[in-house]
Amino acid sequence: MSCVVNIALGERSYEILIGAGALERLPEVSRGLQGVVISDANVWAAHGERVLGLLGEGWGHAVLSPGEATKSAGEWSALLETMAEARLDRRAVVVALGGGVVGDLAGFAAASYMRGIRFIQVPTSLLAMVDSSVGGKTGINLAAGKNLAGAFHQPVAVLVDIETLATLPAREFAAGMAEVVKYGAALDADFLAWIEGNVEGIRGHEAGALERMIARCCELKAEVVSRDEREGGLRAVLNFGHTMGHAIEKVTGYGELCHGEAVALGMVYALELSVALRGLPAAEVARVAALLEAFDLPTTPDPGWQWADLLAAMGVDKKAAGGRVRFVLTDRLGSSELPVAVAEAELKAAWERWCGHGIGE
């Protein structure tokens, strides 16, 4: 094992185990108990038999359709029925094997079945490894918006096996890099500079670069979550880029863009706002956009998107308050402030600048 990151939450504390071969620790962290492995069809085809072989007899499994549309109330309810039919009791364990959709949905099922049973996160996408598998946020989407139903439910362990990234499509790997860049832009300027200096190693899946990158993201999130588990304050800075990102996902129909692609776009928009409202140098917007583009991520909006639709979608986001849209802004890269309400006129002006001319001009 190359790296261990601790999430310090008292009796709910747990470890993130990072490195090649981390999956081999699954029998140990499942503590000899039994339960169900929840995955999607793509991940199951690549890793399912190995995981069941490691866990041994007595384990069931549920295989979901891939994609954001699966993170729904219907699928959540069906999972609970499956768990009940399998006669899982309060000692059972749920293993979430997959990306962010699987982790969020399986985690919410674990949080709500018998009012909460243990679960283990085994993320197989980069985005899940650096972000969604850590911190205990679980949930599903509603018709009105993304992640509007859910619960805070901490896993008992997170196993990050970088070898599983070998089966991840290139587009999904790129989507995960949006969250990686987010940590640098919002929380750690030195890390942002490190990413810029290691683009080729990261794109080439060099083990050392991947382990260091994933570990630093997990360390940054661990620091925030340990201080604010339920997003009462500080943890909201992790939503940098997500207000507009979630709106773009909703307006385009969940699934047209990867979550990370939408977050990349949302970060550039948030930086445009920061130029106007916090004095962020315009060159810094171009700097982040160039880094995102180095990982094949989008940085400019589609001409067909309508401002009124995006504004309406932002209005139902969890970060909205009192009918006003709130954004995480920054006056310098590597540091960000808690979400603040932004006037509609400022939001529209930033949108028009983003649409009407080059990034950061």
CATH assignment at residue 330: 1.20.1090.10
Residues 137 and 202 in one domain: no
**Looking at the annotation, which residues are catalytic?**
115, 137, 179, 221, 231, 235, 239, 242, 246, 259
Domain containing residue 23: 3-167
Residues 203 and 311 in one domain: yes
Residues 184 and 143 in one domain: no
Residues 194 and 333 in one domain: yes
Of 129, 146, 167, the domain-final residue = 167
Question: What is the predicted pLDDT for the residue at 320?
Answer: 57
Q: Is residue 197 part of a domain?
A: yes
Q: Taking a C-beta distance cutoff of 8 angstroms, is the pair 206, 226 a contact?
A: no
| Through-space distance between the first and last CA atoms of the chain, rounded to whole angstroms | 46
Residues 108 and 250 in one domain: no
What total number of domains does the chain contain? 2
* Amino acid, res. 206: E
Among 89, 79, 92, CA closest to 39: 79
Residues 76 and 151 in one domain: yes
Among 239, 71, 204, CA closest to 141: 71
Question: What is the predicted pLDDT for the residue at 321?
Answer: 56
Of 119, 151, 167, the domain-final residue = 167
Question: What is the predicted pLDDT for the residue at 172?
Answer: 95
Question: What is the predicted pLDDT for the residue at 248?
Answer: 96
Residues 152 and 279 in one domain: no
Of 145, 167, 189, the domain-final residue = 167
Q: Is residue 249 part of a domain?
A: yes
CATH assignment at residue 34: 3.40.50.1970
Q: How many CA atoms lie within 13 A of 6 on its CB side?
A: 5
Residues 129 and 33 in one domain: yes
Residues 142 and 17 in one domain: yes
Question: What is the predicted pLDDT for the residue at 324?
Answer: 81
Tokens of 68: 């954001």
Question: What is the predicted pLDDT for the residue at 336?
Answer: 94
Residues 156 and 180 in one domain: no
- The pLDDT profile of the chain, 361 residues, written as one tens digit per residue, is 579 999 999 989 999 999 999 999 999 999 888 999 999 999 999 999 999 999 999 999 999 999 999 999 999 999 999 999 999 999 999 999 999 999 999 999 999 999 999 999 999 999 999 999 999 999 999 988 889 999 999 999 999 999 999 999 999 999 999 999 999 999 999 999 999 999 999 999 999 999 999 999 999 999 999 888 887 788 899 999 999 999 999 999 887 899 999 999 999 999 999 999 999 999 999 999 999 999 999 999 999 999 999 999 998 665 555 568 999 999 999 999 999 999 999 999 999 999 985 454 4
Q: Is residue 361 part of a domain?
A: no
Residues 99 and 217 in one domain: no
Q: Is residue 339 part of a domain?
A: yes
